[in-house]
Amino acid sequence: MILNTINLTMSYCNRTPKIFCVLIFLFSILIGKSFAQSNIDDVLQKKYLFYGEAKFQLYEFRAKQNGKEEGKIKIKYLVKDAYQKFVELNKNKKILLVTAASFTSAFFNNGTPIGICAYEGEFLNKMPNQTMDGLVVINPNGLFDINYVSDLDIVKKECGNLTCNHRFHLNPRENVLDSYYFYDWIQKEKLSVFQTQLVYSHLKTKDENFKNLSVGVNSKRRRFLVLAKKDNELRNIIVNSEKHDYVMKASKDVYEMLTDNGYVVDFILNLDTGSKNLLHVHNGKYLENLRPNTTTKLARIERASNLIVFYTENNTTYNEDTIN
């Protein structure tokens, strides 16, 4: 964009006084910058919302941009040499947001993902974690979709309004025959999947979801992946909180905050904010590291054990992008 602007300005400069050239050049850069920013705003909305004293950063992706072209934003779950895969993806895609996703036993090295985990049909762990109730299959066609997320606390006979016996609602944690169907489906369709804590599920009542708010530790920052609807349109929202809090307390605050703001929440999934806590978001010019001053080098993207990446197909508008 800037290179085009320079070329156009230089060709014009051969025929006009230099002061006009400088003014036109500066004006063009301003226009170019605002254009780039508005392009990002079309696909990624950033905002702050409050609930009581808690302040949350929201990064919201919509299934449709300007009411058209469904599926413009895509998602990848990168695991096993996650950084190398991220670098490859960054070469020909426009990365909008990248964050740590599921939990691993990793400490000194890549480690093993906790719970069921597969990358594009290849399983890294087939053993379901017995306590984590969220199973997330990456939708190959767009945003995280409600049909691709399973609440493992819900057995088939109680799957509510969902279509029972559908492959999306298999429960490999509770039923070994389901586990066969599920693994077979993931391998054949070359899908990626991870397991994490489902801290809110629309398949349970509010009381069932938030019955114990002070479980675990309150010494961690929190980040959630939210699947919600607003104006009947699917939204994927990464909600980030810098406040140290209990996971269920923070998730309840997120649920109340989003509900108060007109969202219909389907699922809230917990994301890893442990020693490998990282969040990079595109700021209109480049992918910005929002946690640059971490106290541990484990929290660098180069050391990530797994990543969720929101991206669009590459756009020539952003050729000047760099990773910070």
List interacting residues with other proteins (CB under 8 A). Answer: 105-108, 111-112, 114, 123-130, 172, 175-177, 179-181, 183-184, 219, 244, 275, 295-298
Least CB distance from residue 220 to other proteins, whole Å? 9
Q: Is 259 exposed, middle or buried (0-12, 13-18, 19+ CB in 10 A)?
A: middle
Indicate left, alpha or beta for 142 from its phi (over 0: left) and psi (-120 to 50: alpha).
left
Nearer to other proteins, 122 or 313 (CB): 122
Q: Is 147 exposed, middle or buried (0-12, 13-18, 19+ CB in 10 A)?
A: middle
Nearer to other proteins, 179 or 251 (CB): 179
Task: At 247, give phi and psi (nearest 5°).
Answer: -65, -40
Least CB distance from residue 182 to other proteins, whole Å? 10
Three-state DSSP class for residue 279:
strand
Q: Are 184 and 171 in contact (CB under 8 A)?
A: no
Three-state DSSP class for residue 25:
helix
Least CB distance from residue 178 to other proteins, whole Å? 9
Q: Are 233 and 289 in contact (CB under 8 A)?
A: no
Least CB distance from residue 67 to other proteins, whole Å? 40
Nearer to other proteins, 97 or 298 (CB): 298
Nearer to other proteins, 171 or 312 (CB): 171
Nearer to other proteins, 114 or 281 (CB): 114
Least CB distance from residue 115 to other proteins, whole Å? 8
Nearer to other proteins, 21 or 155 (CB): 155
Q: Report residue 243 as tokens.
A: 């406040």
Least CB distance from residue 107 to other proteins, whole Å? 5
Nearer to other proteins, 130 or 324 (CB): 130
Strands of 198-201's sheet in order across? 44-51, 54-62, 233-241, 222-230, 264-270, 198-201
Least CB distance from residue 130 to other proteins, whole Å? 6
Residue positions counted in the chain: 324
Residue 224 CA: distances (Å) to CA of 58, 217, 270: 10, 16, 5
DSSP state of 114: S
Q: Report residue 6 as tokens.
A: 């320079």
